[in-house]
Amino acid sequence: MEQPKEDVGTRKDLVLYRLQTARSDLKSARILLAAEEYKGANNRAYYAIFHAISAVHAVSGKAYKRHKDAIGNFNKDFVKTEIFPREIGRKISEAEEIRHASDYDDFYVASREESERQVRVADEFIELVEKYCLAQF
């Protein structure tokens, strides 16, 4: 018996799905922040940023398996060309460092202020990404 073919969406569907995933991660970050789970909030805020970056790449049909490649190519193609502000590139790098410390450094102590900042950065970035992505279709 032949397996039914999976429904394959459009590029726009993929972009919208990744934006939805970014928003969901941001919602999780806010819930964790409210629960005073700062390391978890930092993790989810970073992943909100990462999924937003993946949405930007999907606009042009690109995808990267490694975070390093996704972020590096985003900086090269979108920050250095000033499609996105240079300041956001620095904030993304900081979010990645904080997420890594939160997830892997045994004695890392995340603060409320730091987590609030990470959630704000993720929110700001997702807003920029949504405007960019939706303007492409």
pLDDT at 98: 97
Q: pTM here?
A: 0.92
For CA atoms 95, 97, 103, 107, give the dihedral sign. Answer: negative
Check: CB of residue 98 under 8 Å from CB of residue 42.
Answer: yes
pLDDT at 7: 55
CATH class of 11-135: mainly alpha
pLDDT at 3: 47
Taking the domains of the chain in order of start, what are their residue ranges? 11-135
| Spatial distance between the Cα atoms of 74 and 30, rounded to a whole number of angstroms | 25
Read off the pLDDT of residues 80-129 as tens digits, 9 standing for 90 and up.
999 999 999 999 999 999 999 999 999 999 999 999 999 999 999 999 99
Read off the pLDDT of residues 3-58 as tens digits, 9 standing for 90 and up.
444 557 899 999 999 999 999 999 999 999 999 999 999 999 999 999 999 999 99
Across the chain, mean pLDDT equals: 94
